[in-house]
Amino acid sequence: MSKIAFVQKNKIPPSPAPISEVGFIGWLKQNLFSSWFNTLLTLISIYFIFIILRDFIPWAWGGHWNTKSLRECLDLNPDVACFSVLTARWKQLLFGLYPAEEYWRPTVTFIFLILSMIPILFPKYFKFFWFSVIYPGLAIWLLWGGSIWGVGIVYIGLSLGIFTFILLLKLVSKNTVLAGIGALIFLIVFFMFFSNYLVNFLNIILPIALPPVESLKMGGFTLSLIVGITGIVASFPIGILLALGRQSNLPIIKMICVGFIEFIRGVPLITLLFVASVLLNYFLPPGTNFDIVLRVIIMVTFFSAAYMAEVIRGGLAGLPLGQHEASASLGLTYWQSQRLVIMPQALKISIPGIVNTFIGLFKDTTLVSIISLRDPVGLASTIRADQTWNGIYWELYVAIGLMFFIFCFGMSQYSQYLERKLKTDK
């Protein structure tokens, strides 16, 4: 027998791993105490966490909730938090200058918001998607008030437009572009000539209305949510289209998309907000009343759509060319293959980036305080300008920060859930 020849005669049965390598002890050893340097870092970190908590917990735990002013707090015990400012002003932080007797409206809008998001976030409940479609109109009506037919007419018009589209497709021509143009002409004629009469008519036979509230009264966390959620919902599809446009083979579309993305990304959001609040009026015909909140929403939407487009472009670039070729070779059209093959994958790759942009947008809504809209941060300054609470910092900002944190952390958690759910490679 030669020296290198070897034959294994018996099979070795599997045995359990050593106790120090598995379970909790194994975890500790692997993650916290794997080397002397790692052990040192662990101990230093524990010390820092300890001193932060040692100072923070008594400060927050012993805080005053029921004093009348900051002075009173300081007289009682200057070393603990004075949360009384929240007790006194929480309504303002949530609703801004919204009329107190109408607080139920933003509250209901918020509850409906959560309900309307369920069908979108959890496909199991997709059968309730109709509510998510109705919600935007309902929210606008609840928040701004006035006659329900002001937004109702938009829904009626769009439904009739879709109906026209299907009718044309069935009866006149199979071409979707022609039918689309037909439906568009119908919409223009409807909104230019008929909608006013219809609204007047509906107002007479079914007068449902709420007291109107003007945009400048919107404020607090309500305003952050209005701007943030609308921006998120609107910037997502615009971002997808911009990303596709940037990849397009059609040079003019590509140029427009690249120009838009680079311009909007290259300008600070604050500049855009100033344009929205001040400069835009110069460009519009005199006497036009273009709602300030709407202007801000448009700017915030553009801003985050530009970022979104780049995030999604990253996802698109991450897909192998073979996916395009495979879907083309099966006879799928460009839009079918984008919708069914390319986008589901590109968006999945981009989830962390997309959610990052959403979170960024949501926090950027606090910048509207610069153009004197009363979001929570703007209100904090107003509150501190008041004699009673002059000099208070931590308590207000901790509370505002916590409110934002809850929403942003929620988004982050949802995105992680989504990533786990969409994982198909294991």
Our finding on whether 176 is near another protein (CB under 8 A) is no
Among 2, 15, 289, 329, binds another protein (CB under 8 A): 329
Q: Give least dist CB 77 to another protein, A.
A: 59
Residue 345 contacts another protein per CB under 8 A = yes
- Of 266 and 322, nearer to another protein (C-beta) is 322
Q: Which is nearer to another protein, 52 or 326 (CB)?
A: 326
Exactly one of 8, 15, 289, 424 binds another protein (CB under 8 A); which one? Answer: 424
Please pick, from the candidates 71, 348, 363, 384, the single residue that binds another protein as defined by CB under 8 A. Answer: 348
Binding mask 264-303 for another protein (x = CB under 8 A): ----------------------------------------
Secondary structure of the chain in the HEC alphabet?
CCCCCCCCCCCCCCCCCCHHHCHHHHHHHHHCCCCHHHHHHHHHHHHHHHHHHHHHHHHHHCCECCCCCHHHHHHHCCCCCECHHHHHHHHHHHHCCCCHHHCHHHHHHHHHHHHHHHHHHCHHHHHHHHHHHHHHHHHHHHHHCEECHHHHHHHHHHHHHHHHHHHHHHHCCCCHHHHHHHHHHHHHHHHHHHHHHHHHHHHHHCCCEECCCCHHHCEHHHHHHHHHHHHHHHHHHHHHHHHHHHHCCCHHHHHHHHHHHHHHHCCCHHHHHHHHHHHHHHHCCCCCCCCHHHHHHHHHHHHHHHHHHHHHHHHHHCCCHHHHHHHHHCCCCHHHHHHHHHHHHHHHHHHHHHHHHHHHHHHHHHHHHHHCCECHHHHHHHHHHCHHHCCCCHHHHHHHHHHHHHHHHHHHHHHHHHHHHCCCCC
Segment near another protein (CB under 8 A); pick from 86-94, 175-183, 220-228, 328-336: 328-336
Stretch in the footprint of another protein (CB under 8 A) among 47-55, 100-108, 318-326, 374-382: 318-326
- Which of 134, 156, 332, 371 lies at the binding interface for another protein (CB under 8 A)? 332
Stretch in the footprint of another protein (CB under 8 A) among 270-278, 307-315, 335-343, 384-392: 335-343
| Residue selected from 34, 65, 330, 352 as contacting another protein according to rule CB under 8 A | 330
- Is 200 or 336 the residue whose CB approaches another protein more closely? 336
- Residue ranges in contact with another protein by CB under 8 A: 320, 322-323, 325-333, 336, 340-341, 344-345, 348, 422, 424-426
